[in-house]
Structure 1
Amino acid sequence: MIADSRGPLLNRRRVLLAAAAAPLAVACTTPPPPPPPPDPLAELVVQARADAALATAAGATEVAAARTEHAKLLQAEVDRARPSTPSASAAPSSTPPEQPPGGATPEQVVEALTAARQKGTDLMPTVPVHRAGLLGSVVAGCASLLEAMS
């Protein structure tokens, strides 16, 4: 044992305990990692829901049903990829367009489908293969809906 002139004795056990606790103190003070970036598919979920509402207002029930199904499938993938994030947190990065006061027109539905098809096409090369397959299905669905609308 080592005698300390200021008081109690320092022993090997105290020295080892202090040395073992130092890394723990550092680990407890490090900041948490930043939250993950928003899921790129979350915006497509919001857009699909807005498109479904627009199609319903325009009387295009088949388009509304298809876009609702797209939203469900995309949301399921978002939830699968980030299970700790509740579905309600898939907030839009931009607010969906407001519905026109007199209802929607078929031309607006066509514009929305065209925009959805383009967003999905642009996003496809940036996501993993399994997500690209899902996006390809949604893009193909939007393309076929566009054909049906014309």
Structure 2
Amino acid sequence: MGRVISESVSRRRVLLAVAAAPLAVACTTEPPPPPPPDPLAALAAQARADARLAEGLTAVPAAAEIAKARGTHASLLQAEVDRERPPLSSTAPPAPTAPPTPPDPLAALRTSLDEAVREASALVASLPSYRAGLVGSVAAGCASLREVLG
């Protein structure tokens, strides 16, 4: 009788060990690496910076419209980034600090719009069609805004 009990306990231990092995492996594997940054996030940040720069150009008649357009670009791009990769927390990120005002803000805005067109145009080919349409529209908008500035 003593022999039967020890075999029974031994079998239970073996079954428990076999059942716990996958759990132990699952607990020790490393989580997958985080995805790379969304390329549209950089475009949204640049649009926000352009909007702030254009808001400071009170002497340029079209500056208010440029600021509004780039603000809209930033909102739309950020909405797509958040849709694709929802934020982890419900708290809003801290507001970015304003960069120093360049010596010639108008020239800086022209250069920034040119860069936005180049970056967005280069990115379009690598995006899925639903995102490429948005980024292509932003590139076209930046090109037209650049023409308004002359």
Per the shorter chain, which TM-score range?
0.7 to 0.9
1:128-150: per-residue Cα shift (whole Å, max 9, x none)?
11110100110111111112222
SS at match of 1:99: coil
Report the CA distance between 1:13 and its aligned residue: 3.0
In structure 2, C-alpha distance between the alignment counterparts of 1:68 and 1:46, rounded to whole Å: 10
Query: TM-score with structure 1 length normalisation?
Result: 0.82
Q: 5+ unaligned residues in a row in structure 1: which ranges?
A: none
Percent identity, aligned pairs only, is: 55
Aligned residue-pair number = 141
Gaps of 5+ in 2: none
Q: CA, structure 1 residues 48+34, in 2 after alignment: closer, same or farther (shift >3 Å)?
A: same
Structural RMSD (CA): 2.6
Tell me which amino acid in the other structure corresponds to 1:130: Y
Q: Which has the higher strand share?
A: 1
- Distance of 2:100 and 2:123 partners within structure 1: 25
What are the within-5 Å matches in structure 2 for residues 1-150 of structure 1? 3=3, 9-11=6-8, 12-59=11-58, 60-85=63-88, 88=93, 98-100=100-102, 104-105=105-106, 107-150=107-150
CA distance in 2, matches of 1:96, 1:46: 12
Distance 1:20 1:27, change over 3 A: same
Taking the aligned partners of 2:7 and 2:43, their CA distance within structure 1 comes to: 64
